[in-house]
Chains A and B, each alone.
Chain A
Amino acid sequence: MATEILMPALSPTMEEGTLAKWLKKEGDEVKSGDILAEIETDKATMEFEAVDEGILGKILVQEGEQGVKVNTPIAVLIEEGESADDIKAPAEAEAPAEAAPAEKPTTSAVEEVKTPAPDTSPDWPEGTKMKTMTVREALREAMAEEMERDDTVFLMGEEVGEYQGAYKISQGLLDKFGPRRVVDTPISEIGFAGIGTGAALAGLRPIVEFMTFNFAMQAMDHIINSAAKTLYMSGGQMGAPMVFRGPNGAAARVGAQHSQDYAAWFAAIPGLKVVMPYSAADAKGLMKQAIRDPNPVIFLENEILYGRSFEVPDLEDFTIPFGKARIARKGDDVTIVSFGIGMAHALEAADKLAEEGIEAEVIDLRTLRPLDYGSILESVKRTNRCVTVEEGFPVGSIGNHISAWLMENAFDYLDAPVINCTGKDVPMPYAANLEKHALITPAEVVEAVKKVTYK
């Protein structure tokens, strides 16, 4: 039976090529693997191998011919005993599958078909007994409770065990759970981030601690390419239920390589969930939620906040759902949206503004992915003004995204342009005065609020 040999596609982008040279002539025997011809693509001259065996019955495209479209029959292979004269005119080449007709595009590339109404339920029942604890204690308690509850949860990272944690978050966990579940790693971020992700693919629930998130850049490939994308790439067959956690952002006087807020980087990635708490109660409730979540969660802590004390509900099992912002302060004049340590500046600014008669509503986003668009929208509809506050760099910031989103979804409600208060567009300097100047300050937030309220 005669077999048509078609002009091959020899690269992901090739649509046509030049048939530079035939290396077999009509009547030649062809074995699988023989070079039939040389074909020039836009990138290179490629040898074109035979797959089927037979005799080259007829050459349909002569050498030297340019612009030969992919899938055009270029020759016919026949079996022994067949005659080339029997070959009929080449049939229409089988065209590659047509792309499905374009459907109506969604208005936004972000899958937020409609903004859900904000969840305004309290995080814990009224009258709950409270206890005072630091963010550090809250994180430790959350991990210990979840490790107690589920044997597949384990902690790995540098100095998490015998050293009791570089920032003492894991203090006491080794004694309580033993070295099987509190695993000291060598200084090998890409290695243990990959091992942690592999363990998660196999069904464990690792908590991978980065001593700080600055070192997670060594491990970025596994966080993004391995952990965040596998569920999608596998058509839902397997994913990485795990937490990557550690301090993020500037500490104090540690210089450019140890002072960066990665919130916007991670929040840009579909497949990740991103949490950045401010208070101890949120740190605890969100950490427990993060460990239970069946997806990779980036949990961004802050060294300066570790030692701060907050009221935490004294409940046996307390979690906070993702995508639910917290109204930290009510007000009608302006909406200040922040998260993480930005909240400290936002709240301080709100106090100062109140002294001048400006009542700011302060929203703590708590999670950046999923983001509680509904709470922002409801507030801005009332205040008609918005200022965002974060420590990260200004370009491609969370504030930029919220501004763009408000322009699309609340344009008619805005009485002033949204202002993004961010860290400065410079690597973090070491000198005390310069560092202070590089970071966001409450005074800058006050100034921005006055600008949007025209005061």
Chain B
Amino acid sequence: MARKPSPQPEAPSNVSKDELLQYYRDMLLIRRFEEKAGQLYGMGLIGGFCHLYIGQEAVVVGLEACAKEGDKRITSYRDHGHMLACGMEARGVMAELTGREGGYSKGKGGSMHMFSREKHFYGGHGIVAAQVPLGAGLAFADKYLGNDNVTFTYFGDGAANQGQVYETYNMAAQWDLPVIFVIENNQYAMGTSVKRSTKSTSLFGRGEAFGISGEQVDGMDVMAVKAAGEKAVAHCRAGKGPYILEVMTYRYRGHSMSDPAKYRTREEVQKMRDERDPIENIRELLLQGKHASEEELKALDKEIKDVVNDSAEFAKESPEPALDELWTDIYATELPQGSAEENA
């Protein structure tokens, strides 16, 4: 999927300066946040598994630009970017990574398990593809309640080979559920490339067997993602059932922090970084179109660095959860807030 950058990047005429700046800011926040998370992991402040989103930022930023209040999102364990993009606080996410009281799950979830009812973010799931039927279930609830919300259900090319995805496709199509299946095809399921795991030439094409339309999108181009996302959202909101977006993207880092990444060449990664980086692309557009000056972008970089550094400080200083937290949240005594009424 690597292609040469177009010699003269040009923003589509219908994209405003503010919009470009917003994409730039949102993607850069994810990039810097993840770099910082990698650093804290190296320092031993973050434990266990930690899956970074670096390289894939345009996917979630482009799709979040299509969402309205009430729309839901759910994803896998590579979830930090999704949380930041839907407006969750960097502090709360970072403090969850360090396992502290100030984290979104009070330190009990970790990198792979965070949630926000307020932002309609339903996790954060560690079992590959489990979020796919769960996402369809969120959409089932919206349809049941008769609202026009849609659910973005993100999963990877690896999850696309799990059987439950196809059980879900079948039911989602049969019941016209308003769910967008977003396949983030970063080309590697841990260390196994798509080519080594399937003869299918496209993953979105598998939806045809169930009567689900879909398309492949350049996931290194945030505007292309946004355009495809709008089409998918319109399809779902119109009550036409599910839609599949196979977003072609690339993860620069290893699968998790302990991945030596011997399954691909250094050159392959470098080429992608040099030629297709989604953030650099927008930066070029901003500068060439004279929408922003170097100084303005530098100031923006600093602003983001400050947010990220602040989140890291917070995540270091927030205390570990009190020991009696061990015994809380196992059973609910009443329905968690924001149940059916808020979706009605």
Assess A226 versus B105: contact at CB under 8 Å? Given A241-B332, A270-B330: no
The minimal Cβ–Cβ distance linking A229 to chain B, given in whole angstroms, is 8
Give B290 Cβ to nearest chain A Cβ, in Å: 26
Q: Please report the C-alpha to C-alpha distance between residue A14 and residue B48 in the assembled complex, in whole angstroms.
A: 10
CB distance from A156 to the nearest CB of B (A): 9
Please report which residues of chain A, range 215-252, place their CB below 8 angstroms from some CB of chain B when the two chains form the complex.
221-222, 225-226, 230-239, 241
Would A196 and B137 count as touching, CB distance under 8 A?
A: yes
Can you name the residue of chain B whose Cβ is closest to the Cβ of A38? B260
A258 CA to B336 CA in the complex, in Å?
Answer: 36
Q: A9-B44, A46-B260 known; A225 and B109 CB under 8 Å?
A: no
Contact of A203 among B45, B257, B328, B343 (CB under 8 A): B343
Closest chain-B Cβ to A79's Cβ sits at a distance in Å of: 15
A residues 289-324 near B (Cβ < 8 Å) are 294-295
Does B130 lie within 8 Å of A45, measured CB to CB?
no
The answer to whether B137 and A198 touch across the interface, beta carbons within 8 angstroms, is yes
Chain B nearest CB from A19 CB (Å) reads: 14
Q: A238-B117, A270-B330 are in contact. Are A193 and B133 (CB under 8 A)?
A: yes
The CB with the most chain A CB atoms within 10 A, among B98, B106, B134, is that of B134
Cα–Cα, bound, A45→B260 (Å): 7
Give the residues in chain B near A204, CB-CB below 8 Å: 140-141, 144-145, 340
B:82-120 near A, CB below 8 Å:
98, 103-109, 113-117
**Count, chain A residues at interface, CB 8 A:** 69
Question: Is there an interface contact between B340 and A237, defined as CB atoms closer than 8 Å?
Answer: no
B328 touching A230 by the CB < 8 A rule? no
| Count of chain B residues near A, Cβ 8 A | 83
In-complex Cβ contact of B138 among A51, A201, A232 (8 A):
A201
Q: Which residue of B lies closest to A224 (CB)?
A: B127
Choose among B114, B133, B139, B331 the residue that contacts A271 (Cβ–Cβ < 8 A).
B331
The answer to whether A9 and B133 touch across the interface, beta carbons within 8 angstroms, is: no
**Interface assignment of A41: CB less than 8 Å from any CB of chain B:** yes
Minimum CB–CB distance for A408 against chain B, Å: 19
Which of the candidate stretches B34-42, B224-232, B236-244 sits at the interface with the other chain? B34-42
Question: Chain A contacts of B219 at CB under 8 A?
Answer: none
Given known A-B contacts A100-B323, A295-B331, A231 and B72 have beta carbons under 8 A apart: no
Whether A233 pairs with B124 at a CB distance below 8 angstroms is: yes
B325 to A, closest residue via Cβ:
A235
- Judged by a CB distance under 8 angstroms, whether B216 is at the interface is no
Residues of chain A lying within 8 A (CB to CB) of residue B163: 190
Q: Are B171 and A192 in touch, CB under 8 angstroms? A: yes
User: Is B273 among interface residues, defined by CB-CB distance under 8 A?
Assistant: yes
Interface residues of A in 189-221 (CB under 8 A from B): 190-204, 221
Contact among A191, A232, A235 for B171, CB-based, below 8 A: A191
Given A195-B133, A222-B130, A97 and B164 contact (CB-CB distance below 8 Å): no
Question: Is the pair B260, A44 in contact by a Cβ cutoff of 8 Å?
Answer: yes
- Taking a contact as CB atoms under 8 Å apart, the answer to whether A188 and B171 are in contact is yes
- Please tell me if A178 contacts chain B, counting CB pairs below 8 Å: no
In the complex, are the beta carbons of A111 and B168 less than 8 A apart? Answer: no
Q: Which of A33, A41, A234, A241 contacts B115 (CB 8 A)?
A: A234
Q: Is B156 an interface residue (CB 8 A)?
A: no
Which listed residue (A32, A99, A197) contacts B134, Cβ 8 A? A197
Q: Which residues of chain A have C-beta atoms less than 8 A from B6's C-beta?
A: none
Q: Flag whether B43 is at the interface (Cβ < 8 A).
A: yes
Could you tell me which residues of chain B, from 121 to 142, have a CB within 8 Å of some CB in chain A? Answer: 122-127, 130, 132-142
Q: Please tell me if the beta carbons of A233 and B336 are within 8 angstroms of each other in the complex.
A: no
On whether A94 and B43 interact (CB within 8 A), knowing A180-B144, A237-B115, the answer reads yes
Evaluate contact between B336 and A239: CB separation under 8 angstroms: yes
Question: Using a CB–CB distance below 8 Å, which chain B residues touch chain A?
Answer: 35-36, 38-39, 41-45, 47-49, 72, 74, 98, 103-109, 113-117, 122-127, 130, 132-142, 144-145, 163-164, 167-168, 170-171, 174-175, 252-253, 257-258, 260-262, 266, 273, 316, 320, 323, 327-336, 338-343
Q: List 6 A-B contacts (CB under 8 A).
A: A97-B98, A225-B126, A225-B127, A235-B108, A236-B332, A294-B336
